[in-house]
């Protein structure tokens, strides 16, 4: 698959451990032949502006979902993407609820809804889960995503 993916790295859930620093996604974003689109809103956007690889990510700006119809713009953008890549955020849930292909990076100790020891979820059949094997280690999660993404090529 050589298409459009979207990374989303910062959750606003209040759980700091579910947010992945954008720089952790760099090996994924630097894969050749793949375009990335940011659906990040609010906290975390500043990471995109300072990233050395920001030129590899299309930022849709502050007007995305700025109106009263929250997530309507995001859902429309998702429909044009091949895959949504996210940490445990509302965007991951939106992709799953829409049946859109999504990969979700999960912390070592995720919320109950993600269950344990599995790469899928009964609630979102179109979603694949990538779990930390060591608390705080996003490197292995992103490496697994990069390998899987290259396998789709």
pLDDT recorded at residue 68: 83
Residue found under tokens 């994924």: 28
pLDDT recorded at residue 45: 80
pLDDT recorded at residue 119: 96
Q: Kindly give the parts of the chain with pLDDT less than 70.
A: 1-18, 153
pLDDT recorded at residue 125: 97
pLDDT recorded at residue 18: 65
pLDDT recorded at residue 9: 47
To which H or E segment does residue 11 belong?
none
Rounded Cα distance between 21 and 139, Å, is 10
Rounded Cα distance between 6 and 149, Å, is 12
Sheet containing 57-59, strands listed edge to edge, beginning at the edge strand earlier in sequence: 57-59, 35-38, 4-8, 83-87, 102-106, 127-131
pLDDT recorded at residue 33: 86
């Amino acid at each position: 698959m050589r298409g459009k993916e979207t990374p989303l790295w910062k959750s606003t859930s209040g759980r700091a451990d579910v947010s992945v620093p954008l720089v952790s996604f760099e090996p994924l974003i630097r894969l050749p032949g793949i375009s990335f689109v940011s659906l990040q809103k609010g906290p975390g956007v500043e990471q995109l502006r300072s990233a050395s690889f920001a030129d590899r990510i299309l930022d849709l700006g502050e007007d995305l979902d700025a109106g009263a119809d929250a997530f309507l713009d995001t859902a429309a953008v998702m429909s044009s993407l091949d895959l949504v890549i996210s940490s445990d955020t509302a965007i991951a849930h939106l992709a799953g609820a829409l049946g859109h292909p999504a990969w979700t990076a999960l912390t070592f100790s995720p919320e109950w809804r993600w269950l344990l020891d599995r790469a899928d979820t009964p609630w979102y059949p179109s979603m694949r889960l990538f779990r930390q094997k060591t608390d705080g280690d996003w490197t292995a999660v992103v490496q697994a995503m990069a390998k899987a993404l290259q396998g789709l090529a």
